[in-house]
Structures are given as structure tokens and as C-alpha cells.
Amino acid sequence: MPFLGRCIRLCQLGLVVYLVVAVLFTTFRLFVLPFSALLRSISELSLAASEPPSPFSVFSGFFWILQYLAGAMVQDWPWNPERTSTSSSELSSDSVFWESSSLALKHGLGQPEPVAVPEALFLSKAFSNSMHPSRIVPFYYRASGTVDSEDITITTLITSNRFKVFAQLAERYEGPISVTIHVENTTTRISELLNQLHTLYTSSKSMATHVDVHLVIDSFDRQFNTWRNIARLFARTNYVMMLDVDFALCTDFRRAIRKSAKMMGRLREGTSAFVLPAFEYTKLSEGTDQRNFPKDKKSLLALIKAGRIGMFHASWAAGHNSTDYDRYYTAKPGEVYKVTQYQSAYEPYVVFRKDGPPWCDERFVGYGGNKAACLFEMYLSGVSFYVLADHFIIHQNHLYEETARKNERKYNRKIYSDFKEETCLRYFKSYHQRNLLNTSSGYNLQSECQKIKGVSRLASQIITEDT
């Protein structure tokens, strides 16, 4: 009996210990962790704001607390977007590290401890041609789904007024997306937008599974090329598609590319980019709901014949006419044809290798020339464009900020002119020194840059020397 009594008391003690541990763990998980994460987020993001906290932002903070507490209760749901950040090993580091080379360490040189560079400093240099001060927050949300490196990530950029169409893009694509979101640098605006973003991200399984979100917090609107480069840099696949969020994906181009050994081979080489022809409805009212858009080329051609759909931005034909729409209309099923009439205003939506082709020039701020500059340098680097004749995208019509577009295009026109000259001269020097000028890699450079008045004479001299 004494032995049995001791066993009972031991069991009771074990039960008490279990209950204490369970209460402590639950309290920590449901209250301490989310509350501390909230305070840390508010503290870090407030550093980017130039204004002191307002009563409104403090009031908003209490709602954040409630959201975080509620979010913690679903922490273990398979699609929960916070799940990927529960491990400290997956959180964004405050520094970027470089180690000594293995050869140096082998010979007793250097030091085994890595050298740390603050992440903010590293990113400020990585995007040094952008307007500053600006804060970049990579992977503010990180997708919980498995990423195949051979997949195609859509890279895009949005502001808060495009959240609805972005949600539609995520639902439609069902694949990896890397998005840059601009946050206006005011305390109240940061709190408001991040609340909206949290609601958006947690309301969609597709969003939480496939979308990586990166923030840019500053006071500068429409730094489109900087935002494009951020989305591309942090994409987690070998191939990307540069897409504006207002376009609806109407066909499964991703599957067509991935199942084609020939197209995948071209992507791996890094010298090919695949064009998805862009269209829009001729009447604004018809093109606002992508649920009514055609889903195959036959249906598209019928609407084109009826005059209801046409080339995207037909009033500015130079932007897309190198796609050769007449050939597209008559192309055979499965055909992929090369763009043969490139010109410097061409700005198609393309799939290409993430690592290799040049990055977008970040000096462009606002409308006009920004995307064309990306494609221009890509072309000069030796990339050829190929049109996917079975596939297409359609613009979801919306009103533009016409005054801003007019003014920004005016000064970007001058920047683009200077950019073309500078880029041509830089590539001529590079190709000349590497003996590539008179190879197939140098064809695009020669054919395009000799059209530019300020470059043509020098280009002719260099070409003559290399002949």
C-alpha cells in the first residue's frame, strides 16, 4: 500500500507539472510571441517613417494586437502564411555574411568567422541608382508552398489600389509569384496598408501558398524599374516573367514552356526571351472583368474579327508592333516565331532566365520608357525575342493618371535618349574587348546602335577595327 500511495502521489505531481508547462507554452505561443512580433514590426517599420506616431496609429496598433492574437490561433494551419516564419532560421537576417575562401582557409590564411555587412547597407548599394532614402523589406511574407527551381515566377509590382486584381492574378496563376509592394512613408499609411495586406494575404490559400511579398517603404511614387528588380532579385526560381499586374493570364503558357524541351533549353542558355502578345478591349467598359475574357486563341480571334479586341495600346504602335500581330493571327498551332523587326520602343511581356540578362535601369521614375529600357538592354546583351503564337494576355482596363503620365513621359523621353547612347557605348566597349562584336552575340548591338546618331560614327570605327 505505501508503494501504491507513492505511485499515486508521483502521478499527481507529474500531472501538475504537465498542466503548468502546458499553460506556460500556450501563453507564450498565443500571447507573448505574436505580441512581441507586433511590437518588433511596429518598431522596425516606424524607423522608415519621418513623422512621429499619431494618435490614429497608436489606436490602430490595438487592432493589430487583436489580429496577431487571432492569427496565432491558426498558426499550425497548413496554408497559414505566418507558418514559414516561425523558425528563427527562416527569418530575415540583419546582416549579409561572407566567408573566407576555402583555399585561403586550407592554407591557414584569413579567418573562419564570416564578415558581416548590414543588410540595409547591402541593399542600399544593390539599388544605389534608385531614389533614397528608401527601405526594402524582403520576404515580408514568404510563400509556404514548395518551390521548383525550374518553374517560372511571375514578377510584378503593385500599390494598394491594385490589391483586387493582384488577388485575381494569384488565384489564376497558381504558381510562384514575387511581388514588390510600395508603402507610402507615413506612419498612418504604413499601419493602414499593412492591415489591408494582412487581410488580403490571409484570406487566400493561393496567395499564402505561392506569393512572396517584398516591401519598399519610401516617399517616391512609381519607381517601377526598382520595384521590378526587387521582385526579380528575390524570385526563387531560375526563370521569371516580367508582368504588369493589370494583365490577365488567359492561357497556360507556363505548362506549354515547361513541357517543351526546346523552349526550356533556350531559357537555360539565357539568350532567349518568350513574348506573350498583349491585347485589350476596344471599349473600356468591356475590359474590366477578366472572368469574361477569352481563354483560347480561337475565341480571341473571333473577338478581334468583331472589332471588340485589338493590340494593346494600339495608339502607341511602337510599344508592341514588333510582335508582328498579322503573323500571330495566322500562325499554326504550337508555332514559336522570332521577332525580326525589333525597335527601341518595343516593350513586350516576356519570360526569361532570372540570372544572366541585364537588370532594369533604375534611373527611370514614373511613366514612359521604363519597361522599354529593360527590354532594350536585354536585346543589346544578345537576347532574342520569340513569340508564343498559342498564348496571349489581356489588359484589364482602368483609368490612368493622365496628367502624371504626360509630365513624366516628357522628362523620361530625354532620359531614355541618353540611356540608349550610354548603353550602346558601354556594350560596344565590352564586346570589343571580349572579341564578340562580330559574332552572333554582337548582331543585335550592331544592328540597333548604328541607328543612333550619337553612336553610329564611333560604332563604325570599332566594327572596322574588329573586322
Q: Any idea where the domains of the chain sit in the sequence?
A: 246-416, 424-466
Contact 209, 144 (CB under 8 A): yes
Which residue numbers in the chain have pLDDT < 50? 42, 44-92
Give the whole-angstrom CA distance, residue 73 versus residue 348: 45
| Whole-number Å distance between alpha carbons of 20 and 102 | 49
**According to the model, what pLDDT value does residue 55 have?**
42
pLDDT of amino acid 89: 36
> What local confidence, expressed as pLDDT, does residue 65 receive?
43
Asked if residues 250 and 356 have their Cβ atoms less than 8 Å apart, the reply is no
Reported as half-sphere exposure (CB side, CA atoms, 13 A), residue 210 has a value of: 21
d(CA 445, CA 425): 10
Q: What does each C-alpha distance from 10 to 5, 14, 17, 18, 326 come to in angstroms?
A: 9, 6, 11, 12, 86
pTM for the predicted model, two decimal places: 0.79
Written in H, E and C, the secondary structure of 7-50 is HHHHHHHHHHHHHHHHHHHHHHHHHHHHHHHHHHHHHHHHCCCC
Integer Cα distance of 381 and 294 in angstroms: 35
Burial class of residue 80 (count of CB atoms within 10 Å of its CB; 0-12, 13-18, 19+):
middle
The rounded distance, in Å, linking the Cα atoms of 100 and 105 is 7
Q: CA 215, CA 136: separation in Å to the nearest integer?
A: 6
Could you tell me the three cell numbers for 29? 505561443
| DSSP-based three-state secondary structure for 126 | helix
Identify whether the C-beta of residue 197 lies closer than 8 Å to the C-beta of residue 82: no
Which helix (H) or strand (E) is 121 found in, with range?
Answer: helix 119-126
**437 secondary structure, DSSP code:** T
Phi, psi for residue 260 in degrees, rounded to 5:
-100, 110
Neighbours of 189 (CB within 10 A): 16
226 in helix, strand or coil?
helix
Contacts of 439 (CB under 8 A, 6+ apart): none
Give the angle 425-427-429 at the CA atoms, nearest 5°. Answer: 70
Question: H-type helices in 213-343, by residue range?
Answer: 224-233, 253-258, 261-269, 297-305, 325-330
Yes or no: say if 215 and 137 are a contact pair by the CB < 8 Å rule.
yes
Q: List the grid coordinates of 144.
A: 509556404
Instruction: Report pLDDT for 69.
Output: 43
Cell of residue 227, nine digits: 520595384
Instruction: Identify the pLDDT of residue 26.
Output: 67
**Total residue count of the chain as it appears in this document:** 467
Q: Using an 8 Å Cβ cutoff, are 152 and 274 in contact?
A: no
> Which cell goes with 318?
511602337
